[in-house]
Amino acid sequence: MFEKLSSTEARYVELEKKMSEPEVVQDNALYSRLAKELSNIQGLVVKYRLYKKLSSESQGLEEELFSKKHDEEFTNLLYQEVADLKRKIEKCKSELEELLIGEDPQESRNIIIEIRAGTGGAEASLFVADLFKIYSKYIAKKNFKLEMLNTSPTEAKGFREIIFSVKGKGAYKRFKFESGVHRVQRVPTTEASGRIHTSTVTVAVLAEPEEIELEINPKDIKVDVFRSSGHGGQSVNTTDSAVRITHISTGIVVTCQDERSQLKNKNSALRVLRAKLLDKFKAEQESKISADRKSQIGSAQRSEKIRTYNFPDRRVSDHRIGLTLHKFDNIMEGDLDEFIDALLVAEKNATLGSGKNDDENRVD
């Protein structure tokens, strides 16, 4: 914990110095990003400096108390002053812990969520729809705002992919643990023998950057337009309104077709692309962090199996924290708080216990 606090304070001093440099002052975009990063960590640094000041005062009084002889009245005053400082130090330490947990600058961002069918054919595409319903109901319970960006339906009335944004304070915090592989076990309606079928879907939760934070040069992308299609490939309109954007250097491809306006689809695709590029940058930074400093509750990678929904046994299990709930119907109605709250506690314990120094979000 204190290793991270020390490095955060060093970063704060570095930012103050950078923001006074003439070339930074003249670059509005860079200056704004640095100012935002400075603002994000300012409260933590101020509290840490108070903690160090109180600790220094307490140490000085203790040295005074035990190194010299004083009369009884003055000794009692010193004891009382040390006790008061100890209480202030403990309160300050507790507040630092809370600030550390909430320090992630991603927390204030809106998010984009992708749900994609994995293994299991039609069953996987059907569970994409089921999982989207769970999330939709949870979003409504939390008074967040949902905006559809793209859907890719199948003939089986499922979806190959659903992409949507979630806006609202705390959206990233509540959804960030959903990234990974979600496994479903159930008996398909077409299975005459009653055999349980296992399929998977992948979920990606992407923090959505502001345009000023991540500009995309038009020369770096290829834009294709084509006719939107609905279930079974049937055309849903007669204009080439669907948009496919390819980011040339990374190979990332984004398609949006839900809007009838080509411009709206293009803007939606650019939003998703920015989020994917930010996610790629973050993943590259995290790969540089040693394994012992990564979160103990999982890396939230899309290849990691995080949860199993077992329809026959009416249970849902989160494999990262070993929590199984037999509240299947409630969960299918969007009651995810028990899982999410447990994951937040595990994250807090891992963060405070690991002394990690996550500087992947810094702007240099």
pLDDT in tens, 70-86: 778 888 888 899 899 99
Q: What is the pLDDT of residues 37-61, one digit of tens each?
A: 998 889 899 999 999 999 999 988 8
The letter for the amino acid at 93 is: K
The confidence score (pLDDT) of residue 97 equals 82
Kindly report which listed range (30-39, 259-268, 351-360) carries the lowest average pLDDT score: 351-360
> What band does 213 get if pLDDT is binned at 50, 70 and 90?
low
188-194 average pLDDT score = 72
The confidence score (pLDDT) of residue 289 equals 45
| 128 within 8 A of 152, measured Cβ to Cβ | no
For the whole prediction, is pTM greater than 0.75?
no
Between 192 and 299, name the one with better pLDDT: 192
The letter for the amino acid at 168 is: G
Q: Look-up: residue for tokens 């479903």?
A: 184
Instruction: For residue 208, give the DSSP letter.
Output: P
Q: What share of the chain is helix, strand, coil (3-state, %, to 5)?
A: 50, 20, 30
The confidence score (pLDDT) of residue 321 equals 94
The confidence score (pLDDT) of residue 349 equals 80
Four-point Cα dihedral 172, 173, 174, 178, nearest 10: 70
Between 354 and 174, name the one with better pLDDT: 174
165 in helix, strand or coil?
strand
d(Cα 255, Cα 210) in Å, to the nearest integer?
20
The confidence score (pLDDT) of residue 291 equals 43
| 99 within 8 A of 105, measured Cβ to Cβ | no
Q: 10 Å Cβ neighbour count for 235?
A: 10
> What band does 19 get if pLDDT is binned at 50, 70 and 90?
very high
Q: What is the pLDDT of residues 308-359, one digit of tens each?
A: 999 999 999 999 999 999 999 999 999 999 999 999 889 878 777 654 444 4
The confidence score (pLDDT) of residue 183 equals 95
Q: Assess whether pLDDT exceeds 70 at residue 290.
A: no
| 204 within 8 A of 177, measured Cβ to Cβ | no
d(Cα 128, Cα 160) in Å, to the nearest integer?
7
The confidence score (pLDDT) of residue 78 equals 85
Which range, 59-68, 112-121, 129-138, 295-304, has the best average confidence (pLDDT)? Answer: 129-138
> What band does 163 get if pLDDT is binned at 50, 70 and 90?
very high
d(Cα 70, Cα 77) in Å, to the nearest integer?
10
Q: Assess whether pLDDT exceeds 90 at residue 208.
A: no
The confidence score (pLDDT) of residue 287 equals 63
235-243 average pLDDT score = 67
Mean pLDDT, rounded, of the chain: 84
289-314 average pLDDT score = 65
The confidence score (pLDDT) of residue 358 equals 44
Q: Look-up: residue for tokens 């939230």?
A: 300
Q: Assess whether pLDDT exceeds 70 at residue 236.
A: no
Q: Assess whether pLDDT exceeds 70 at residue 198.
A: yes
